[in-house]
Each structure stands twice: as structure tokens, then as C-alpha cells.
């Protein structure tokens, strides 16, 4: 067990990091992510709530459909990232005007204070302190879920619904943090253990700890807040422009819009990239990245061994001249520049569910 954002969390379960990682890619892994912050943002109608949130994030919220989800980020006035989050518009028309947010555990108090300070009077924030969050991830996730929540099988990727799991009311979304198909189940704290134990009765399901969660999301090219993104990095530098719609990029109207529009126009000075070391030595966070003359050109922000990549993998920031896939770089590991190259992310391809039309 290790301390993590004020919670005691397991790095691994008895299976161990390596096998937990591979199990998730092959079958289904169950993650207890109840430490994450869940909250409702409620206003009189969707237009009002979306506009209030759009003043804080660069994502397209106003055009979000019923039961649809979006990944975005809170920005500071300099366009730096305060936190990244998931936003869901309720699927029920009678709940319209309400958005559900899921934010990082380490940032939740600051996020809530930030929103309280900025929201108009007509939109209120209510943290959901009595809700747990479980994630079921992997190619078997859909068949496992279908056993206790038949409605889940038919859900599109990045959609959410209010439903029941084995008779317990819950909020299920088809999303995740591993690059695999999967779900997140938000459920009352006093029902969470029962839901988890039920899922674990399935032969395909194993508990997965923080270690494998980290290697899975790293291979999938997904950012870990406080490491790959922070208050100094902009969404453009972090290669998260895909999360902003054309309208929002052009219109601005979010904190730090000036910097972000400038970086979109002129290109950022540095970029977050995927990195594959050529040898077998992993390059960990904070490893210096150098050019062929040994000049520092960047830094690794996440790195380790990728069990599915079958070798070391990393991500980090490099000067933009080195950001193209294939660029040769050096990684300073134990005083020696070790050859590596920039690669496309995700390093291990995503296998999100695509609904048949």
C-alpha cells in the first residue's frame, strides 16, 4: 500500500503489476478509483450550465448530446492545466441542466474551490461524497458487464446512462484510462463492495492496482496529471488539441485563450511526445532528453516498462524541432546518453468500442 493523494492505495494485488497489466489487456481488470472526485454541476438548463463550464475549460460542452461524455481540462489564466476531467451530460431529459464531473483526487479540493469562485449564481456545484467509482477495463469488460447490467453491452464509447447493476442503482459510462474498451461504474459507497465482489466472481475479472494502471495508461498515451500535464503545460504543448472543438479554438472564451490561440497559430515551443528507447533500459520520470551533441532538449514525464509493448516506453516534452515521429533523441540514464526515438502515441493501439451502425 502506498499513500496516493491522501488515500492508501495498493500498487499491486497478489497477481503483480506485470500480470495485472496483461490480464487487463487480455480479459478484464477491475480498478477501485473511488479516490477520484465526482460532482454535479447544476443549472436551470443545459445552455446555462454548459456556458458556465465553458468559461473554465476549452472543451465543447454546449453541443454535448444527452448521455454523452467529453474529456477536457481546467485552465489557469496563462493557459496552463489545473486539472483534467471527464464531463457527462445526463441522459435523462428531466435532469437536463446537470453535468457530472470526474476530477483527479489530488486536485479535487482545488478544483471545487476554483469552480465555486468562478461559477455564476445560477449554477451550483455539489460534490458527491457518498459515491464510489469502479472501473472495469479490457476486451472482456462488455461480456462481463452484460451479465449483471444488460444495458451496458449496447452503449457507445464515451456515453453514459443511469441503470442498475445486479439490482443496485448506478451510473455507468463507457470510457476508461487503459486504451481498452471498458466502463466506469459510479455507485453508492455502501453498495460498492457488493458490486466489486459480484464482478470478481467472474473468471475473467481480477483486481488491478496503481502500478498496472500507470503502465496501461502510459502505453495508451494518456496523461497523468502532475506528471505529463501541470500548471505550466498548455493543451497545445500537451498534444490535447483534439479535445477542443473548432468553434472553441476560434472563439476562445476560456482562461489562457490568448496563449493557446498563439500556440495554435505559431506552433508551441515544446510538445508532448511518445518515446521508445532503443535498448532495454527504462527511462523514468525526470530523465533528461538530449540531442546528438548532448544538449538538453527536453524531459521525460512518465516512463517505465510496457508489458504489452514488451519493452521500455516513455512520454515527455521535447523542443518542437524534435517532435516528429522518428526523430532520434538521447535519454540520459545513469550518466549515459542512450539512443531512443520519438514515436506516435498511443504506443499500444487503443481498442475502444465502436458501435456497429
Partner 1 sequence: MAEIKYTDDHEYLNIEGDVATVGITKHAQEQLGDVVFVELPDVGKTVAKGDEAAVVESVKAAAEVYAPVSGEVIEANGDLEGNPGLVNEDPEGGAWFMKIKIADKSELEGMMDADGYAKFVAEQG
In the bound state with partner 1, the residue whose beta carbon lies nearer, of 334 and 354, is 334
Question: Contact with partner 1 (CB under 8 A): which of 246, 265, 334, 357?
Answer: 334
| Shortest distance in whole angstroms from residue 151 CB to partner 1 | 36
**Beta carbon of residue 335, minimum distance to partner 1 (angstroms, whole number):** 10
Residue 254 to residues 25, 114, 144, 317, Cα–Cα distance (Å): 37, 14, 40, 24
Residues contacting partner 1: total by CB under 8 A? 18
Which residues within the stretch 196-235 sit at the binding site for partner 1 (CB under 8 A)? 211, 215
**Cβ-based neighbours of 135, under 8 Å, separated by 6 or more:** 30, 31, 33, 176, 177, 182, 183, 184, 185
Which residues from 48-87 bind partner 1, rule CB under 8 A?
Answer: none
SS3 at position 81: strand
Shortest distance (Å) from residue 15 CB to partner 1: 10
**Binding residue for partner 1 (CB under 8 A) from 80, 312, 316, 330?**
312
Q: How far is the CB of 282 from partner 1 (least distance, A)?
A: 6
Tell me which DSSP letter residue 159 carries.
B
Least distance (Å) from partner 1 to the CB of residue 269? Answer: 30
Q: Which is nearer to partner 1, 18 or 66 (CB)?
A: 18
Q: Which residue has the cell 472564451?
A: 253
User: How far is it, in rounded angstroms, from Cα 275 to Cα 254?
Assistant: 31
Instruction: Name which of 214 and 263 has its Cβ closer to partner 1.
Output: 214
Nearer to partner 1 by Cβ, of 88 and 287: the residue is 287
Cβ distance to partner 1 smaller for residue 246 or 334: 334
Q: Where does this chain touch partner 1 (CB under 8 A) — which range of 95-103, 107-115, 275-283, 343-351?
A: 275-283
- Among 5, 18, 158, 188, indicate the residue that binds partner 1 (CB under 8 A): 18
Query: Coil, strand or helix: which one is 313?
Result: strand
Closest distance to partner 1 from the beta carbon of 340 (Å):
14
Integer distance in angstroms from the first to the last C-alpha of the chain?
Answer: 45
Binding track, positions 231-270, relative to partner 1; x by CB under 8 A:
----------------------------------------
Write the DSSP string, 185-247. Answer: EEEEHHHHHHHHHHHHTSTTEEE--HHHHHHHHHHTT---BTTTB-TT--TTTTT-GGGS-HH
Long-range contact list for 109-117, CB < 8 A, 24+ apart?
110/82, 110/83, 111/37, 111/74, 111/82, 111/83, 111/85, 112/37, 112/39, 114/56, 114/74, 114/82, 115/41, 115/56
Q: How far is the CB of 338 from partner 1 (least distance, A)?
A: 11
Phi then psi dihedrals of residue 206, to 5 deg: -130, 150
Nearer to partner 1 among residue 108 and residue 213 (C-beta): 213
> For residues 179 and 255, which CB has a smaller minimum distance to partner 1 in the complex?
179
12 lies in the binding site for partner 1 (CB under 8 A): yes
Q: State the DSSP string of 237-264.
A: TTT-GGGS-HHHHHH--STTHHHHHHHH
The x, y and z cell numbers of residue 341, run together, are 526515438
Supply the minimum distance, in Å, between the C-beta of residue 9 and partner 1. Answer: 14
- Which residue has cell 496529471? 225
Peptide bond into 346 cis (omega under 30): yes
Euclidean distance between CA atoms 118 and 56, whole angstroms:
8
The residue among 1 and 153 lying less far from partner 1, judged by its C-beta, is 1
Minimum Å gap between C-beta 101 and partner 1 is 31
- Residues 280-309, one symbol each (x = binds partner 1 by CB under 8 A, - = not), give xxx-x-------------------xx-x--
Answer yes or no whether residue 194 interacts with partner 1 by CB under 8 A. no
Cα 13 from Cα 19, distance rounded (Å): 10
Short-list 39, 200, 71, CA closest to 134: 200
Q: Which residues bind partner 1 (CB under 8 A)?
A: 11-12, 16-19, 21, 211, 215, 280-282, 284, 304-305, 307, 312, 334
Amino acid at each position: 500500500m502506498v499513500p496516493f493523494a491522501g488515500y492508501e492505495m495498493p500498487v499491486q494485488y497478489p497477481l503483480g503489476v506485470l500480470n495485472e497489466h496483461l490480464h487487463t489487456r487480455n480479459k478484464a481488470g477491475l480498478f477501485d478509483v473511488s479516490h477520484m472526485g465526482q460532482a454535479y454541476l447544476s443549472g436551470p438548463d443545459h445552455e446555462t450550465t454548459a456556458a458556465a463550464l465553458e468559461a473554465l475549460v476549452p472543451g465543447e460542452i454546449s453541443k454535448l448530446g444527452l448521455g454523452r461524455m467529453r474529456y477536457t481540462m481546467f485552465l489557469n489564466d496563462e493557459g496552463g492545466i489545473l486539472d483534467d476531467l471527464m464531463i457527462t451530460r445526463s441522459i435523462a431529459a428531466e435532469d437536463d441542466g446537470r453535468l457530472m464531473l470526474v476530477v483527479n483526487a489530488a486536485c479535487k479540493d482545488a478544483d471545487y474551490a476554483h469552480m465555486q469562485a468562478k461559477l455564476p449564481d445560477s449554477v451550483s456545484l455539489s460534490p458527491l461524497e457518498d459515491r464510489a467509482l469502479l472501473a472495469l477495463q479490457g476486451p472482456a469488460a462488455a461480456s462481463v458487464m452484460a451479465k449483471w447490467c444488460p444495458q451496458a453491452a449496447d452503449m457507445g464509447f464515451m456515453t453514459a446512462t443511469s441503470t442498475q447493476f445486479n439490482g443496485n442503482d448506478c451510473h455507468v459510462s463507457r470510457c476508461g484510462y487503459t486504451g481498452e474498451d471498458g466502463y466506469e461504474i459510479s455507485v453508492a459507497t455502501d453498495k460498492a463492495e457488493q458490486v466489486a465482489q459480484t464482478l470478481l466472481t467472474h473468471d475473467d475479472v481480477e483486481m488491478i492496482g496503481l502500478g498496472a494502471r500507470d503502465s496501461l495508461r502510459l502505453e495508451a498515451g494518456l496523461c497523468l496529471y502532475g506528471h505529463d500535464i501541470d500548471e505550466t503545460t498548455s493543451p497545445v504543448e500537451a498534444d490535447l488539441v483534439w479535445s477542443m472543438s473548432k468553434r472553441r479554438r476560434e472563439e476562445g472564451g476560456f482562461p489562457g485563450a490568448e496563449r493557446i490561440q498563439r500556440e495554435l497559430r505559431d506552433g508551441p515551443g515544446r510538445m508532448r511526445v511518445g518515446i521508445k528507447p532503443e535498448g532495454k533500459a527504462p527511462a523514468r520520470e525526470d530523465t533528461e532528453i538530449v540531442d546528438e551533441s548532448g544538449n538538453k532538449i527536453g524531459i521525460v514525464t512518465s516512463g517505465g516498462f510496457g508489458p504489452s509493448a514488451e519493452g521500455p516506453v516513455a512520454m515527455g516534452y521535447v523542443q518542437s524541432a524534435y517532435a516528429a515521429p522518428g526523430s532520434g533523441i538521447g535519454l540520459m540514464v545513469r550518466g549515459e546518453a542512450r539512443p531512443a526515438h520519438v514515436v506516435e502515441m498511443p504506443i499500444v493501439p487503443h481498442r475502444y468500442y465502436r458501435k456497429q451502425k
